[in-house]
A and B are shown apart, each in its own frame.
Chain A
Amino acid sequence: MLEIRDLHVKFHDRDREAVSGVSLHIEDGEILGLVGESGSGKSVTAMSIAGLLPRRQCDYTGEILLDGKDLLHADRAELRKLHGKEIGVVFQEPMSSMDPLMKIGEQVEEVLLIHTKLTKEERRRMALEAMAAVELADPEAVYDKYPHELSGGMLQRAMIAAAIVIKPRLLLLDEPTTALDVTIQAQILDLLKKLNRESGISMLFISHNLNVVRKLCRRVAVMQRGVLVEEGETETVFHHPQHPYTQRLVAAIPTRCRKEDQP
């Protein structure tokens, strides 16, 4: 459904290309993991898909096709139609990703307000449904709360609810669990898995945490210094990494000493 062909991005104030020649594809209903260290170009790749590239400050070539439509070169009006409707995005920092002065419910249903002609009641009903789908306890109560009244984990659930409320086809997850503590992280991963299984929504999951990616993704792509160095089935990549960089990454994963201690 999503295909990236030979994407190059170079910011004007940098010498090196942030992304050089990345080609990727995501199948319907698939969760693709995108792994790499800071500065490897994984976030720039995501920004390109999301249309968040500062176009005036960089050069970009290649194609990003969503069902055959090129996102990279689409003009703003077209992008505005596609975004939100077809692509939902969840950022790393749930605290800063929500408008501090707007009720959670209003933010969850905002995308409906922009893209549909649903009535207020219908929007509210869909928002509550989405909030229930992300397992927020007592959606009715959360609907009227403000971001500072929720914990990080709840906020991230609300963000996911806002991203899926319009039932987009692709969810971009940019380090969605990095800012959360480990137990909440695991819950969010389970939730994403469930959403993927139940609604068949495709996901691009970006992370620097290989263990997290391993839990969630069937296929993984590894980036280093703007280049895609390896791509394949997650388990294959983990057990038989081909590229030296991937080998080092895999070797750097802390191993579990006593497996029976794990839950």
Chain B
Amino acid sequence: MKKTSMNGYLAAGLILTGVLVLLIVAGYFWTPYDPNAMSVGPKFAKPSLQYLLGTDNFGRDIFSRVMKGAGTTFAIAVATVVIGAVFGTLLGALTGYFGGLADAVLMRLGDILTAFPSILLAMVIISIMGPGKTVNVVLALGLVFIPSFARVTRTAYAGLRDANYVKSARLMGASSARILWVHILPNIMQVLLPAITIGFNNAVLAEASMSYLGIGVTPPDASMGYMLSEAQGMFGAAPWYALGTGFFMVLLIFGVGLIGESLQRRDGEVD
């Protein structure tokens, strides 16, 4: 019974995310209309078969813009999570496995970082590195995401440090790198994968918030957050702009969230 519901989560999440990712990937090569071209249709056209999500004040096709903008957001979120997960796992592995002074110092540093709201921290970093560049948004968000990954993996690594199979690998003369990479990493996937899906969703939201606040992606690049801030000004005239964009983002987060949920449930089921 529980197994079917677990598979249901996973299947629903994969299908939903799959469709959206397909749209996003397609958006890199083809959109129904040029997303930045004005007057492809009348201004403020309601959603119709011709303009799926309607048009905005310049007569731009919103659906095309959503496809394009979601692509930017998606790319930033993926890059952010990759940075956070790779460096976080590396730090977590080293501190969790070896412990000692470096562990204490780095983890307290992580605590300090997490004490600030992540958006605020990212804003500070961006203002130092210089706003307006997508690369800087990715770097800032990635940096902010490292401590949470480090904490999750540190706990997992510390828990397996004295597992018997790790001891026997050590006894066989396996190097520390081999133990960390070959023996422990695959065994902590059950905590790392859900952390990655949650991290992805947080990254989508963080990018959107930052672009909405005007410190993220800047024109001509569209991103979901930037589009939402645009849509806000014409909410009365074209509510479909905000709703369509927001709905797409909600679906993306929901889909990835479902995948994460199914992974966590599976984790809970083991043993």
Contact = CB atoms under 8 A, between A and B. Distances in A.
Interface of A: 50-52, 79-85, 87, 89, 91, 93, 96-102, 110-111, 114-115, 159, 162
Q: Which of B165, B170, B178 has the most CB of A within 10 A?
A: B165
Contacts of B169: 99, 110
Contact of A115 (B168, B173, B186, B187): B173
Interface in B160-186: 163-165, 167-175, 178, 182-183, 186
B158 to A, nearest CB: 14
Contacts of A82: 173
Contacts, number: 58
Nearest to B166: A99
A91 B187 CA distance: 20
16 contacts: A52-B167, A79-B173, A80-B173, A81-B173, A83-B171, A89-B168, A97-B164, A97-B167, A98-B165, A99-B165, A101-B186, A102-B186, A110-B172, A114-B178, A159-B168, A162-B168
Interface residues of B, number: 17
B172 A83 contact: yes
Given A96-B164, A97-B168, A100-B165, 9 more contacts: A51-B171, A84-B171, A87-B171, A89-B168, A91-B167, A99-B169, A110-B174, A114-B178, A159-B168
Given A91-B168, A101-B186, A85 B163 contact: no
Interface of B: 163-165, 167-175, 178, 182-183, 186-187
Contacts of B183: 99, 102
Given A99-B187, A101-B186, A101-B187, A111 B165 contact: no
Chain B interface mostly: helix
B209 to A, nearest CB: 38
Contacts of B175: 80, 114
Nearest to A47: B167
Nearest to B160: A99
Nearest to A101: B186
B172 A114 contact: yes
B172 A84 contact: yes
B165 A96 contact: yes
B174 A97 contact: no
Nearest to A96: B164
Contacts of B163: 96
